[in-house]
Every structure is written in C-alpha cells, then in structure tokens.
Amino acid sequence: MNKSTSSPSKISEQRGVGIFLILVSAAAFGVMPIFANCAYSYGAEPITVLFLRFSLASIIMLMYHFIRKARFPRGKILLAVILMGALGYAGLSFSYFTALLYASSGTVAILLYLYPALVTILSVLFLKQKISAMEITALILALTGTLCVIGLELGGEPLGIVLGVMAALIYSVYIVAGSKIMPRTDTITSSTIIMMSAGVVYTFVILVKGAHFPSGLSGWGAIGGVVVVSTVIAIVTFFEGLKRIGPVHSSMLSTFEPVVTVALAWVFFNEGLTPLKFLGGALILVAGILLARK
C-alpha cells in the first residue's frame, strides 16, 4: 500500500530533480560564450580553447574518478561512450566552429537549435516514444522563443548551412544515444570517458595546427571557467538530468541556454536586450512550465 502511494510522489520528485539539473546544465553551457570570448581577447583561438577544455576537464574528472575508486565500463558500453566523445562531442564542436567560417553566427545558431525538433523525431522513430499535444506545443514555443532570442541574422555559403545542420544532427544523435547508454553506466565514469575521447581528438588537431594559448591570469581564468563550469558541471548535470526526464524534455529545456547567454552578454558586454528577445525568453519559460507540469 505504501509503495503504491509513494511511487507517484517519488517519480514526481525525480522528475523535478531532472528538470533542475537540465536547467543548471543549460546555464552552465550558456555562460561558455562569455568565458570563450574573454579567452579569445587574451590571445587564445577556438581550437586551442577546445583542446584545453576537454584535456583539462579530463584531468579533473580522472582525479575524481580515482578518488571514488570507480571502474570503467567494458565491451560495447565502453566503445559507445568513447564514440560519444570522439565522434559526438568532437564532431559537434568541429562542425559548429567550421560552420562559423562560412555562415553568420545567427544562421549557425538557428541551425544548431533545430536539435530539440530532431531529438523529438529521432525519439519517436527509434525509441518509440509517444509525443503528446502538450509536448508538441512546448516544442513549438521553445523553438519560436529560441528564434526570437537568437535573432534573424541570416546569411552564409551553402557549406556553412550544411555544417550547421550537421552540428544539429550530431548533437541530436548524441542526446538520443546518451539516453540509452547513460542508464547502463555511471554518469561520472561515462562523462570522464567522453571528455577524454574528445580531448584525444583535439590533441591530434593541435599537433597538426599548433596552439595559441591565452596570456595573463584573466585569460587562464576564462579557460578555467570553460573547463569547470561549461564542461565538467554542464556535462555531468546534463547526463544526470537526461537519465531522469529523457531526451525530448531534456533537449527542449536546454533552449534556456541562449537565454542565459543573451542575459549575460547584456550584463557584461552591454549588448542590447530588445523586446523580441524578452518575448523569446518568455516563450521558452512558458515551454519549460508546460513540461514541468506534465
């Protein structure tokens, strides 16, 4: 009797924790452009920032991993997690930053934030997940809000468009695959392997292209923010939230990320907040409330 009555409340509690973790992850990812721009202003370049991001995050995670005396997964699970880092995260970062060379930042951002819709489609096709009318409404609100926040600075070459769509598709597959893999392994362990795999990829890139490191304490402080806040905290909280609320709701709630970025850009760089951006933030908030009430 107690089990049956307490079960719904426990599920609701886990869902609440999952929503909170995804929002923390979105905020942590959202502050990354602020840290990255600071690092760039002190002489770092994108590839070097990505190399430092995953390499230093791997060291932090490995230290914690060994303190916990945890074990790495084996066999197919280990291979899947390695591929999530080497192809998923590294592929996403490469596609996104290369796309910026051939298309405007607004265009690339809009294409990347197609991923909640792609995650929903992939979840229906491959995970046989049923989508309610409320979830479709929340998806439309989240995507419309994201479009309002990012803006309509469209323009670019076909290659930039293709790479932007590729980044969205890679991230979508990464999230859907993660929703199946993460429940079968420890979050800290799998996150460590993902960061290590991406770090190895960017180590090879740095060996070929060379590195441009930031100068001064402020530059390295910005790198520290990218590593600790926007990588370690962001990835671990995302996967913990993903375990609790699934890929569709996780991807929709992650649209809070550009809201955080725009708000922080207004605070630190005095970038304007237009009524359209306020509207976008409100739409994303409504989408989040709909998902939270489900």
Environment class of 40 (CB within 10 Å of its CB; exposed 0-12, middle 13-18, buried 19+): middle
pLDDT at residue 3, as a whole number: 47
* More reliable by pLDDT, 264 or 169: 169
- Which of 9-23, 47-61, 148-162 ranks highest by mean pLDDT? 47-61
Which phi and psi angles does 113 have, rounded to 5°?
-80, 15
Rounded Cα distance, 211 and 48, in Å: 5
pLDDT at residue 170, as a whole number: 96
Residue 114 · residue 168 · CB < 8 Å: yes
Which phi and psi angles does 200 have, rounded to 5°?
-65, -45
Inform me whether the pLDDT recorded for 5 exceeds 70: no
pLDDT at residue 269, as a whole number: 76
Inform me whether the pLDDT recorded for 2 exceeds 70: no
Q: What is the pLDDT of residues 130-161, one digit of tens each?
A: 999 999 999 999 999 998 988 766 677 889 88
pLDDT at residue 133, as a whole number: 92
pLDDT at residue 152, as a whole number: 67
Tracing tokens 């994201």 back to the chain, one arrives at 146
pLDDT at residue 251, as a whole number: 95
Question: Taking the CB of residue 59, how many other CB atoms lie within 10 A of it?
Answer: 14
77 pLDDT band, cuts 50/70/90, is: very high
Full-model pTM = 0.89
Report the pLDDT averaged over residues 266-273.
79
Q: What is the pLDDT of residues 36-47, one digit of tens each?
A: 989 999 999 999
CA distances (Å), 73 to each of 181, 185, 192, 193, in order?
11, 7, 11, 10
Which phi and psi angles does 103 have, rounded to 5°?
-150, 160
For residue 233, give the DSSP letter: I
Tokens for 33?
Answer: 């452009």
Rounded Cα distance, 50 and 121, in Å: 30
Inform me whether the pLDDT recorded for 233 exceeds 80: yes
Rounded Cα distance, 210 and 48, in Å: 8
**% of the chain residues with pLDDT over 90:** 63
- HSE of 217, CA atoms in CB hemisphere, 13 A: 0
Residue extents of the structural domains in the chain: 16-293
Inform me whether the pLDDT recorded for 6 exceeds 60: no
Report the pLDDT averaged over residues 48-64.
95
pLDDT at residue 154, as a whole number: 67
Instruction: List residues bridging with 103 in a β-sheet.
Output: 156
pLDDT at residue 4, as a whole number: 46
pLDDT at residue 294, as a whole number: 63
pLDDT at residue 268, as a whole number: 82
pLDDT at residue 180, as a whole number: 92
Report the pLDDT averaged over residues 84-97.
90
Residue 131 · residue 188 · CB < 8 Å: no
Inform me whether the pLDDT recorded for 110 exceeds 90: no
Q: Compute the mean pLDDT over every residue in the chain, rounded to the nearest whole number.
A: 90
The sign of the dihedral angle between the CA atoms of 68, 74, 76, 79 is positive
